[in-house]
Amino acid sequence: MTETVTDFDVGAVRAQFPILQRELDGNPLIYLDNAATTQKPQAVIDALVDYYTQCNSNVHRGAHQLSDEATKRFENARKTVANFINAAAVEEVIWTSGTTEGINIIAKGMAQRLKAGDEVLVTQMEHHANLVTWQQACKASGAQLKVVPIDEQGNLSIEAFDQLLSDRTRLLAMPHVSNALGTVNPIVSLTAKAKAKGALVLIDGAQGVAHGDVDVQAIGADFYVFSGHKLFGPTGIGVLWGRKAVLEDWPIWLTGGEMIATVTYEDATWGALPNRLEAGTPNIAGAIGMAAAIDWFQALDINAVKAHEQALLEHALELAKDIPGMRIVGNADNKIGILSFVIEGIHPADIGFLLDRQGIAIRTGDHCAQPLMQRLGVPGTARASFTIYNTLQDVDALFKGLKKAAMMLA
Amino acid sequence: MNLPSTEEIIDDLDFLDDWEQRYQYIIDLGKQLPGLPDTLKLEQNKVRGCQSSVWMVSEENAGRLTFKVDSDAIIVQGLLALVLAAYDNKTRAEIQSFDIDGYFAKLDLERHISPTRGNGLRAMVAKIQGLAA
């Protein structure tokens, strides 16, 4: 097979990612660790360089032209994000360092609301960032952590969800898409159920945001958090989207800088959204880079992108049948291009080693989801994750590499 | 098992010029390493590594330190054998004076012992060096 099965021009997309030209040990780089972080198109690299070469300055200080320009670019970036996720208002977009920080900002606020007898609902497929945070918040407050189980295929049990959701549920915190299994969760219907019980809803969008068209108003949750670097943008920047009515009186979490309105030696008052939740000098370049990534991503046909990723996954699943002892971990009915697997008798780290030597980058280990691995009865998995610039040949190379690895380890 | 000496390993790997043969050599070395019984694969014998587990126990006899190691990943096991070739049944002075980074560089395997690799190898070397200090 030489061409993709969709009319999506993967060659034109690839050409925009300079790093994909790299060779490792004489082999062309086959980058299949996109669930960990995506590579950056030239447009993003250019936006960062342009910011630092043309208008680097602190924002919101306004005393000179550069600061004014930097502030405009920074605030335009916020508008880009707001449009991208269909936020009802620009000030609902809070810059963070990434998904984990977003979750922690919400946890700090929830800590003041949770009390003994309350419940927080999470799922068995949680990334540590959206599990440990709530586990600790519950420990500190005496609230109870309830965990919605998954079935053998990696589907969330809706039956169990319905049983565990109660009038005591104060928060539902769950992933849009599982980083370890690729499962796409029915967040719209589950959010509606939790809202009907009066719970707040937080969606961890780290893996969801780069694989579809996120519309926070259509989802109906209170918070949706994600990172720039999994969306073809820079590391160290992310977004906490929150419903304005909820964020407006959300407890502040860091003090200092632009979040302050007035200060005396005795007291201080806080500014309005979004600044009240953004203390200190923000990651200005990161925000501008993230907006450039979104602009770049939005210029693509999202349906073609989805079809392309599904074609890669289907091709991989077909080739997987030829590898003796290979078991796919995570076969949810609705899943994105994440292929988590184990091969009988072979440790995932050994697979990772031998693929790495062939220039093929995948992730091996517990994927920051140790309880999930225990649930699935595996020490860890090898995970190949596909995105828009991957080709069917990349998938072929993965399986050729796997065959070689299995032969050497036999 | 009798591990080859570090000189023999350097010679052997130098002789093998394609990567597959070199890794096959490491894999075979790993398979030959006797490993540890499950009764000794305890939390307190575990050396930190995030992608694979490494266990190590040590003894001292007549001024020499001996080590038994195990890993659930076979290539890590092979790399551990390379490390043991350098350190097992040696005196403290010999362990302290051995240039492990230079050795791995000669083997052209320095990437595997780099602190940025979470395979537990670097942690095990640090533990052995600590025991010998």
SS3 state of residue A391: coil
Whether A41 is covered by a domain: the verdict is: no
CATH number reported for the structural domain that contains residue A60 in this entry: 3.40.640.10
Q: Which of B23, B27, B72 sits opposite A379 (nearest CB)?
A: B72
Residues of A in contact with B121 (CB under 8 A): none
Lowest mean pLDDT among A29-33, A318-322, A374-378: A374-378
- Boundaries of domain holding A185: 46-298
* pLDDT over threshold 80, residue A56: yes
A241 within 8 A of A99, measured Cβ to Cβ:
no
Band (B47; pLDDT cuts 50, 70, 90): confident
Whether A40 is covered by a domain: the verdict is: no
Band (A257; pLDDT cuts 50, 70, 90): confident
> How much of chain A exceeds pLDDT 70, in percent?
98
Instruction: Report how far Cα A5 is from the mean position of its chain's Cα atoms.
Output: 27
* pLDDT over threshold 70, residue A244: yes
Last residue of a domain, one of A248, A280, A298: A298
The rounded distance, in Å, linking the Cα atoms of A103 and A99 is 6
Residues A60 and A19 in one domain: no
Question: What average pLDDT score do residues A129-145 get?
Answer: 95
Residues A64 and A27 in one domain: no
* Res B1: pLDDT: 60
Backbone angles phi, psi at A173, to 5 degrees: -120, 115
* Res A69: pLDDT: 95
Band (A81; pLDDT cuts 50, 70, 90): very high
Backbone angles phi, psi at A28, to 5 degrees: -65, 140
* Res A130: pLDDT: 95
Band (A61; pLDDT cuts 50, 70, 90): confident
A332 within 8 A of A181, measured Cβ to Cβ:
yes
Whether B24 is covered by a domain: the verdict is: yes
* pLDDT over threshold 60, residue A1: no
Looking at per-residue pLDDT, the higher value among B13 and A196 belongs to A196
Asked about B50 being catalytic, the answer comes back as yes
* Res B118: pLDDT: 63
Residues A292 and A310 in one domain: no
* Res A325: pLDDT: 95
Question: What average pLDDT score do residues A339-363 get?
Answer: 94
Q: Predicted ipTM?
A: 0.90
Helix residue ranges per DSSP H, A251-378: 284-298, 302-320, 348-356, 370-376
Q: Which of A25, A350, A404 sits opposite B75 (nearest CB)?
A: A350
* Res A28: pLDDT: 96
* Res B49: pLDDT: 65
CATH number reported for the structural domain that contains residue B91 in this entry: 3.90.1010.10
Lowest mean pLDDT among A355-369, A382-396, B45-59: B45-59
> How far A383 CA lies from chain B's nearest CA (Å)?
12
Whether B82 is covered by a domain: the verdict is: yes
Q: How far apart are the first and last CA of chain A?
A: 29
Backbone angles phi, psi at A383, to 5 degrees: -130, 120
* Res B123: pLDDT: 83
Residues of A in contact with B27 (CB under 8 A): 408-409
CB contact under 8 A, A408 and B52: no
Question: What average pLDDT score do residues A346-365 get?
Answer: 93
Q: Taking all residues of chain B, what is their mean pLDDT, rounded to a whole number?
A: 88
DSSP string across A112-177 = TT--TT-EEEEETT--GGGTHHHHHHHHHHT-EEEEE-B-TTS-B-HHHHHHH--TTEEEEEEESB
Looking at per-residue pLDDT, the higher value among A213 and A107 belongs to A107
A381 in reach of chain B (CB within 8 A): no
Residues A274 and A335 in one domain: no
Beta bridge partners of A23: A28
Instruction: Report how far Cα A238 is from the mean position of its chain's Cα atoms.
Output: 9
SS3 state of residue A28: strand
Q: Rounded to whole angstroms, what are the CA distances from A397 to A181, A313, A325?
A: 22, 14, 19
Residues A138 and A173 in one domain: yes
Band (B87; pLDDT cuts 50, 70, 90): very high
Looking at per-residue pLDDT, the higher value among A378 and A246 belongs to A246
CATH number reported for the structural domain that contains residue A356 in this entry: 3.90.1150.10
Question: What average pLDDT score do residues B49-74 get?
Answer: 89
Residues A209 and A305 in one domain: no
* Res A2: pLDDT: 43
| Contacts for A318 with CB less than 8 Å, ≥ 6 apart | none
* pLDDT over threshold 90, residue B52: no
The amino acid at A275: N
Band (B120; pLDDT cuts 50, 70, 90): confident
Question: What average pLDDT score do residues A12-30 get?
Answer: 96
pLDDT in tens, A328-348: 999 999 999 999 999 999 999
Question: What average pLDDT score do residues A136-155 get?
Answer: 96
* pLDDT over threshold 60, residue A5: no
CB contact under 8 A, B24 and A366: no
Residues A318 and A336 in one domain: yes
Whether B63 is covered by a domain: the verdict is: yes
Residues A293 and A344 in one domain: no
Overall number of domains in chain B: 1
Residues of B in contact with A349 (CB under 8 A): 51-52, 72-73, 75-76, 119
Structure-derived torsion over alpha carbons of residues B46, B49, B51, B54, reported in degrees to the nearest 10: -40
Last residue of a domain, one of A275, A298, A321: A298
- Boundaries of domain holding B42: 6-132
Residue A152 token pair: 């053998």
* Res A3: pLDDT: 46
Give the residue from A392, A277, A314 showing the smallest Cα distance to A2.
A392
Residues A155 and A240 in one domain: yes
A242: left (phi over 0), alpha (psi -120 to 50) or beta: beta
pLDDT in tens, A272-298: 999 999 989 999 999 999 999 999 999
Whether A5 is covered by a domain: the verdict is: no
Q: Which pairing describes strands B46-47 and A200-204: parallel, antiparallel, or unpaired?
A: unpaired
| Contacts for A140 with CB less than 8 Å, ≥ 6 apart | A111
Overall number of domains in chain A: 2
Whether A94 is covered by a domain: the verdict is: yes
Whether B1 is covered by a domain: the verdict is: no
A36 in reach of chain B (CB within 8 A): no
Whether B98 is covered by a domain: the verdict is: yes
DSSP string across A249-288 = TPPP-S-SGGGEEEE-SS-EEE--TTGGG--SS--HHHHH
Q: How far apart are the first and last CA of chain B?
A: 27
Q: Which pairing describes strands A223-227 and A200-204: parallel, antiparallel, or unpaired?
A: parallel
Mutual angle of helices B6-15 and B19-32, in 10-degree steps: 150
Whether A371 is covered by a domain: the verdict is: yes
Residues A226 and A310 in one domain: no
Whether A36 is covered by a domain: the verdict is: no
Residues A178 and A306 in one domain: no
Residues A313 and A175 in one domain: no
Band (A62; pLDDT cuts 50, 70, 90): confident
* pLDDT over threshold 90, residue A315: yes
Closest chain B residue by Cα to residue A379 = B52
Looking at per-residue pLDDT, the higher value among B107 and A295 belongs to A295
